[in-house]
């Protein structure tokens, strides 16, 4: 079995081919999703950012028999051109795309949003975390003549103020709006577009956020289920959205956060009052 959590083998994705963007290591959400898709029979292509990640990504991707393992810097058009050309060459057409890519400079992820947000860093975050989704969706849709399903990853910081999340919260709000606009455009072609709003999870990206560990601890303490968001839960939701199980769902932002987002006043704070 591929490195990952225990996954029941099945055939929900049998005959489906797709691209997973955003595996950096075995903790990446993209990897949790990819290993679930592979366990359900999907054929996979992977793109990763830059040579330094290849050492980690290649063995993971090979463990699920990936047909394409190639670099793609989402902020670089030639790199995206060549990655999608490789996917087309290997698969011809695809059925799904997982976009699990985001970036903001560290100075945008701490302290005062108003004081710390700079033009260049703001635009970079929007480029890598939002425009890349629109660009990837357009490229993927061209390879989906028979319809398909696209999933991206977002966070509650799009809807509510989460300390230090700052520019990334604004980028995620734009990403969620982009999900709805893309769903409307691509709907007639039977391509569904959805976002998973995952609770805080221990990954490389989270490590870049000031107080990231606190986001996990508070996420657990204040969640309805009183537990961490699990990779199984996030990957299972992706499986539902990317398989035919999700065939009537599009333009949706699904919270997979152990019920953290529904709590207005945590018991602990109510008791203090």
**Tokens 């300390």 found at:** 163
Segment contacting ligand NAD by CB under 6 A, of 60-68, 72-80, 243-251, 262-270: 72-80
How far are the Cα atoms of 27, 132, 200 from residue 217, in angstroms, in the given order?
18, 30, 9
Out of 48, 155, 181, 240, which one is annotated catalytic? 155
Nearest CB to ligand NAD, comparing residues 52 and 248? 52
| Closer residue to ligand NAD, CB minimum distance, 7 or 49 | 49
Between 11 and 81, CB nearer to ligand NAD: 81
| Closest-CA residue to 34 (of 125, 128, 98) | 98
Q: Which helix (H) or strand (E) holds 220?
A: helix 212-221
Task: Look up tokens 């989460």; give the residue.
Answer: 162
> What percent helix, strand, coil does the chain show, rounded to 5?
50, 15, 35
Assess 128 for contact with ligand NAD (CB under 6 A).
yes
Could you say which residues in the range 91-110 bind ligand NAD, by CB under 6 A? 100-103
The residues in 164-223 that bind ligand NAD, with binding defined as CB under 6 A, are 198, 200-201, 203-206
Decide if residue 60 touches ligand NAD (CB under 6 A): no
Closest CA to 30 of 59, 4, 10, 68: 4
Please select the residue that binds ligand NAD; options are 2, 7, 17, 28, rule is CB under 6 A: 28
Q: Which is nearer to ligand NAD, 40 or 154 (CB)?
A: 154
Q: What is the DSSP string of 14-42?
A: TT-EEEEE---STT-HHHHHHHHHHHTT-
Provide the Cα torsion 16, 22, 28, 31; round to 10°.
20
Q: Residue 4 corresponds to which tokens in the numbers above?
A: 């990952």
Q: How many residues does the chain have?
A: 273
Q: In angstroms, what is the minimal distance from the CB of 198 to ligand NAD?
A: 4
Is 48 annotated in the active site?
Answer: no
Q: Report residue 104 as tokens.
A: 């903001």
How many residues line the site for ligand NAD (CB under 6 A)? 27
Stretch that binds ligand NAD, among 59-67, 140-148, 151-159, 258-266 (CB under 6 A): 151-159
Beta carbons of 87 and 68 less than 8 angstroms apart? yes
Stretch of 106-114, 115-123, 148-156, 246-254 contacting ligand NAD, by CB under 6 A = 148-156
CB of 176 to ligand NAD, least distance (A): 11
187 or 210: CB nearest ligand NAD: 210
Minimum Å distance from CB 124 to ligand NAD?
Answer: 9
CA angle 271, 211, 159 (to 5 degrees): 70
Which residue of the set 48, 165, 181, 240 is catalytic? Answer: 165
Per-residue CA distances from 152 to 107, 115, 144, 194 (Å): 24, 29, 17, 7
Respond yes or no: is residue 165 known to be catalytic: yes
Q: Which is nearer to ligand NAD, 166 or 205 (CB)?
A: 205
What residues are annotated to the active site?
155, 165
What is the contact surface with ligand NAD in residues (CB under 6 A)? 22-24, 28-30, 49, 53, 72-75, 100-103, 128, 153-155, 198, 200-201, 203-206
């Amino acid at each position: 079995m591929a490195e990952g959590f225990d996954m029941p083998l099945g055939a929900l994705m049998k005959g489906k081919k797709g691209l997973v963007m955003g595996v950096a290591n075995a903790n990446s959400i993209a990897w949790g999703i990819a290993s679930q898709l592979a366990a359900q029979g999907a054929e996979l292509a992977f793109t990763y950012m830059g040579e330094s990640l290849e050492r980690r990504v290649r063995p993971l991707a090979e463990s699920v028999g990936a047909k394409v393992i190639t670099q793609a810097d989402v902020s670089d058009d030639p790199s995206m051109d060549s990655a999608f050309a490789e996917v087309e060459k290997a698969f011809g057409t695809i059925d799904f795309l997982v976009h699990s890519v985001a970036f903001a400079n560290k100075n945008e992820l701490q302290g005062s949003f108003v004081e710390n947000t700079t033009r260049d860093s703001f635009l970079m975050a929007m480029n890598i975390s939002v425009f890349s989704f629109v660009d990837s969706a357009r490229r993927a849709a061209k390879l989906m003549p028979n319809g398909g399903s696209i999933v991206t990853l977002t966070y509650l910081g799009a809807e509510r103020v989460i300390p230090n999340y700052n520019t990334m919260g604004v980028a995620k709000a734009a990403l969620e709006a982009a999900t709805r606009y893309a769903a409307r455009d691509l709907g007639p072609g039977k391509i569904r577009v959805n976002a998973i709003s995952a609770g805080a999870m221990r990954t490389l990206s989270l490590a870049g956020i000031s107080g990231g560990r606190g986001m996990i601890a508070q996420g657990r303490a204040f969640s309805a289920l009183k537990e961490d968001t699990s990779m199984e839960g996030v990957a299972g939701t992706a499986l539902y959205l990317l398989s035919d199980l999700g065939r009537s769902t599009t333009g949706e932002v699904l919270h997979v956060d152990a019920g953290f987002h529904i709590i207005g006043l945590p018991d602990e704070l109510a008791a203090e009052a």
